[in-house]
Amino acid sequence: MLNRSIIIGYFLFQGTIPTEHSDLLIFSDILFLVCFPLYLRKNIARTRCIPALLIMTDFVRKSDGEWAAELTPDQFEVTRNKGTERAFTGKYNKHEATGAYQCVCCKAPLFHSKQKYDSGSGWPSFWQPFIQENIETQKDTGHHMVRVEVLCRICGAHLGHVFDDGPEPTGQRYCINSASLTFQAEKSEQPS
């Protein structure tokens, strides 16, 4: 029953069931908001279905002065000036807790520990984003190289680069600076 309700709630939330059934819409919205996170937590490894609530839609724009006041000097250098931390120095390189990696600037969920792996590069590496809609890429021709830069779509923070030498199933390696991330442990991982 829960799975069927979740699926109905999801389609209603997406507006794909006729709106003349408004009583169903109200009930389904409540059902979706309550039940879908529970379903997702149990099934995240088996599904690519992401609740729309995790996809950030508001853009964050601040002046360099505002960012400098909120971030550490290392975080500011990496995220706002497109810097790179030295390999093997970032706090999330060997990090193994279960949870979501968020943008240090705007807290948008970007990557999940289930997609993290040890690439040996010295930076946290992921084979795919957790929420693709919160990530954008662009061509980077700096430092006399052609690479693909990874940015937070919500606030424009530089995160790192993506390469085509990662593991299956995507073949991609998102090589991300620890200074551009913060970590939100899953409830079972947080100390009591």
Report which secondary-structure segment, H or E, holds 80. helix 73-81
Question: pLDDT over 90 for what percent of the chain?
Answer: 61
Average pLDDT over residues 136-142: 92
Q: For residue 190, what are its two tokens?
A: 């947080």
Q: Are strands 147-152 and 135-140 parallel, antiparallel or unpaired?
A: antiparallel
pLDDT tier, 122 (very low <50, low <70, confident <90, very high otherwise): very high
Q: Is a pLDDT exceeding 70 seen at residue 10?
A: no
- Looking up tokens 């792996």 gives 117
Asked if 157 contacts 104 with a C-beta cutoff of 8 angstroms, the reply is yes
Spell out the residues 6+ positions from residue 82 whose beta carbon is closer than 8 angstroms to its own: 142, 149, 158
3-state secondary structure of 134: helix
For the chain, the structural domain boundaries read 2-54, 64-189
- Cβ atoms within 10 A of the Cβ of 146, count? 9
Query: Tens digit of pLDDT for each residue in 42-80?
Result: 444 444 444 444 555 568 889 999 999 999 999 999 999
Q: For residue 41, what are its two tokens?
A: 């937590």
Q: Are strands 109-112 and 173-176 parallel, antiparallel or unpaired?
A: unpaired
- Model pLDDT, residue 55: 55
**Cα separation values, 144 from 8, 97, 124, Å:** 51, 36, 24
pLDDT tier, 16 (very low <50, low <70, confident <90, very high otherwise): very low
Name the residue among 64, 84, 63, 87 with its Cα closest to residue 74.
Answer: 84
- CATH fold for the domain made of 64-189: 2.170.150
175 catalytic residue (yes or no): yes
- Cβ atoms within 10 A of the Cβ of 44, count? 15
Pick the catalytic residue: 105, 152, 155, 175? 175
pLDDT tier, 169 (very low <50, low <70, confident <90, very high otherwise): very high
Angle of helix 2-13 relative to helix 22-43, nearest 10 degrees? 120
- Model pLDDT, residue 1: 34
Q: How much is the pTM?
A: 0.69
pLDDT tier, 189 (very low <50, low <70, confident <90, very high otherwise): low
